[in-house]
Structure 1
């Protein structure tokens, strides 16, 4: 399916207005073509014979024609606006809805800034082409063809001037459009880069101010802004050449017609009124050519935007719900059966390689590993945010690919590594987990996530969180995100380093509260050994493979990586483990490294995908 066909389907709801706009434009052009013919009769007949009654009658006819043409022009403006604005709104809505169906792998193919540009600037370009180009696209050919026919009828000799100039104009137009069309694509790409820089700078404005980097980001923005300005300059510098070319052609045609027409009048072969009317048709014909050239330029830019929009609409979601998929997750049983995974089919190395694990229902599982070991990738497969490249991931005894996506993701709740809150109140954000939750349920979830400790200070459930949750700290944001996920009542609950901004005492209280959920399988990705040492099973990943599994005591005895992490963070040795465990994870026997381990450890303990 061509790009134009793909996009044109969104015009179907406005077919009636589209047809009415076309009829108005066609009728308006036809009436305007009649006016110079009437004017020629006034000069050659009414004025020449001194018949004022005829002059007034023909003048009234001209006024009536102009009035009707004006009314038709207003009708066209109304109907075309309805078509263009409705079409643009429908196209944006379709793009947005389609993006919502994208899997993470689809979103990896598009920059966020590019998607924003495609839904805003590109759709606006298409709208403008429809509003500003539809009328001249209809009027231009009608006025050109009819004007040439009438001009030939009035004087075939003078009409030869048109047939000499028109081919030259057509060649000039073709060259301009051919050269400028690729430049519009470059300009839109520069717009993507500008939006990317602007979005990043505005999101990170607090960090920019904290590091006093305003000058650096201003210089960087100036560079991308200059690239857009240069691309636009190159594009429109070529596009505007059509105006002087057509002005020159119009002036040459006018001089030639006056020269030859004057000679024909002197020879008695033509009347003054006929030449006056003929000159009016010159203006109409040349204006029609100017309209056609502008339409081609508009279409050249619109075609680029149509292609960019079509790329989004044509992108097929990599993950879709199966027909008649399972609509409920019964248990928290999780199994990985020889699972391998890579983000791109062309990647040389797997992110996860031959992973086989089993998490019993209701158990607590800790996942540790160095940066890039595949911890986040592992848990994303459970909610089918990505599909395994090979092997099988099972939840509740069924392959995750057999579930309806909404049911699976309700059954597998993930507190993401990057916490996201939305503009609005605490209540609004918590109800993302359960839109029908009562205030009692919201407060219970906040209590389990230890968010009740600060809720009253910020204004309770009706507290305004600001844009992106900017009115709360990182730790508070994490706890609200945990509460939001708890409201889904999932069978499997995944914490992707979701308490990293909380102090160890709060972390311990959250784990103690979550231990009450005996029917929920809890998977905890953490930086700190203390956060997972009381888990029923601990998984140590290394370079995408399962290095070791077991309890805290078992791994201290059998796994060097886990032992080194424990000793570097807790500050004791394997022999002191029993004492530390008895004291509780919230009261470590030595200093804790919040984000990384000393150089003596084998791996830096941070969390990344």
Structure 2
């Protein structure tokens, strides 16, 4: 946890908060002394002037204590909230640069929990540390010294009280700390089920699995709730137990003090001051115990955050990246092999492709054949195990990822739009795009008609693009990719929701557009009609090349491609029949 805090907290603000807290503690410790003097000297002698004099001094000290407390809270809040802000920013920056392998390893729901709940635990503990952890030990030491100075005979009461407090606090921590650590994992599990339930609500309804998912959520929710009830019941039990100990201490001090006063070995004011110091000592123990209960949970959160921050991504920029330009556009897979992290079998084996500007590469194959995996190697979302992926004549590992991805425009399988308006979505890959550029892309993508029928480029886009149909979202995602001025355009099964007429028209527009004639287009498709007109077709079968060439060549040389064509012809015939 210290590793997280030391680089993200202002030393000046922490020092200021500490100084203000020391002033507050000194003010608090000074008041009982004046209370004793008022009783011993003012009330006992009937000296009203002395009482008023000491009363004004106490008011001044109280005012100083209040101002110091306000300063401490202000600075402690700035430090803790600033720490949370910087920590969330660092986590997000780190996660944005993750490769797909790291995303798969940590998990989206866990990343959300670590960015929100775990950071909040550390913020709360930092606030407690700058308040309680500074106040408690200073108050404990100061109050103990002043109490002994007032009446050392009464201090014997602590020989009985403090061991009892240690036993009570130690017992509570023994049971509470493991439960606090467990809460973070249960929060992960709850977020996972909740997120899957929200994102998969249509699938759940389609398969009528509402009760199953409700039971699944109820189980995760009940596990979290039961754990929280246990741990907070234990923590809540601390307050009545401490109150009982404090009340017993007051009774003991009163009983011992009364005997000492009767024997004229102490004064009434001293006993009153001693009782105040005793309460401060016991409250200090209670504050320390609260800190030590919550610190382990924050420590567990810090470990989880450090796992995210310290996770080394496979995708790193070279020390001296080579400049990547679009002067000679090309795409080459040179004996590419790829294996998923911890997998025994290669996902892609010995893939060889060579494409030049103006050509279209289509990739087809069965489900799980490695189509999406292959195209994810182009923008370095994954890195090859052996071989090389070359863009514009350079190995993608020899250039910076920023420069590489500037040359690539990718449409992923799932069409995702961002909340806002259509113009902002279209400019996502090219901030300098004009309205004419956007309309050109919309025309090519067969999306201009329904956008004109709405509010044009000011059309509102709901979260995830939920106010558009699946086919409309795909066309808008394609248009967004076309707005970007790139060397290589990759469409990962991006025509799947389009009807045959729209699909054919869109591909024709891509081929006839003057700008696109100078680029490389990569299309991943399931339908033969989508890929048949490509210059080169790569057929994948379980990660292996099962054919490479034009449609006509593959119809003669590739049994796998022939089977795909035959199966789609049979399917079309059955549907027509």
Structure 2 counterparts to residues 118-517 of structure 1, below 5 A: 118-209=114-205, 213-325=209-321, 326-344=323-341, 346-516=342-512, 517=516
Bigger CA drift: 191-200 or 29-38?
191-200
Separation in 1, partners of 2:177, 2:327: 57
Matched-pair contact (CA < 8 Å) for 2:37–2:269? yes
**TM superposition shift of 1:28:** 0.8
Matched-pair contact (CA < 8 Å) for 1:339–1:354? yes
**TM superposition shift of 1:207:** 4.6
Bigger CA drift: 153-162 or 214-223?
214-223
- Judging changes above 3 Å, is the alpha-carbon distance between structure 1 residues 398 and 519 closer, same or farther for their aligned structure 2 residues? same
5+ residue gaps in structure 2? none
- Judging changes above 3 Å, is the alpha-carbon distance between structure 1 residues 423 and 147 closer, same or farther for their aligned structure 2 residues? same
Matched-pair contact (CA < 8 Å) for 2:122–2:301? yes
Bigger CA drift: 152-161 or 208-217?
208-217
Matched-pair contact (CA < 8 Å) for 2:362–2:534? yes
**TM superposition shift of 1:590:** 4.3
Any idea what the Cα deviations from partners look like across 1:120-179, whole Å, max 9, x if unmatched?
222222222222442121111111111111111122221122133223423433343344
Any idea what the Cα deviations from partners look like across 1:235-285, whole Å, max 9, x if unmatched?
223333432432332233222222222222222211222111111111111
SS at match of 2:314: coil
Matched-pair contact (CA < 8 Å) for 2:339–2:346? yes
Matched-pair contact (CA < 8 Å) for 2:419–2:464? yes
Separation in 1, partners of 2:16, 2:317: 42
Query: How many residues end up aligned between the 2 structures?
Result: 572
Bigger CA drift: 34-43 or 361-370?
361-370
**TM superposition shift of 1:212:** 5.4
Matched-pair contact (CA < 8 Å) for 2:99–2:314? yes
Separation in 2, partners of 1:455, 1:324: 45
Matched-pair contact (CA < 8 Å) for 1:569–1:591? no
Separation in 2, partners of 1:36, 1:84: 32
**TM superposition shift of 1:119:** 1.6
Q: TM-score under structure 2 normalisation?
A: 0.94
**TM superposition shift of 1:377:** 0.6
Bigger CA drift: 223-232 or 78-87?
78-87
SS at match of 1:156: coil
Bigger CA drift: 384-393 or 486-495?
486-495
**TM superposition shift of 1:9:** 1.0
Separation in 2, partners of 1:549, 1:329: 26
Any idea what the Cα deviations from partners look like across 1:196-224, whole Å, max 9, x if unmatched?
22223333444545555544433332222
Any idea what the Cα deviations from partners look like across 1:41-85, whole Å, max 9, x if unmatched?
111122222222212212222222222212221222222222222
**TM superposition shift of 1:182:** 2.8
1:4 aligned onto 2:10: no
Look up the match of 1:522.
Answer: 521
Structure 2 counterparts to residues 30-45 of structure 1, below 5 A: 30-45=26-41
Bigger CA drift: 549-558 or 142-151?
549-558
Structure 2 counterparts to residues 108-123 of structure 1, below 5 A: 108-123=104-119
**TM superposition shift of 1:464:** 0.8
Any idea what the Cα deviations from partners look like across 1:458-494, whole Å, max 9, x if unmatched?
3211111211111111111111111111122222221
**TM superposition shift of 1:552:** 1.3
SS at match of 2:420: coil
1:568 aligned onto 2:551: no
Matched-pair contact (CA < 8 Å) for 1:102–1:319? yes
**TM superposition shift of 1:524:** 1.3
5+ residue gaps in structure 1? 573-588, 594-609
SS at match of 2:334: strand
SS at match of 1:472: coil
**TM superposition shift of 1:225:** 1.4
Look up the match of 1:583.
Answer: none
Matched-pair contact (CA < 8 Å) for 1:334–1:396? yes
Matched-pair contact (CA < 8 Å) for 2:5–2:83? no
Q: TM-score under structure 1 normalisation?
A: 0.89
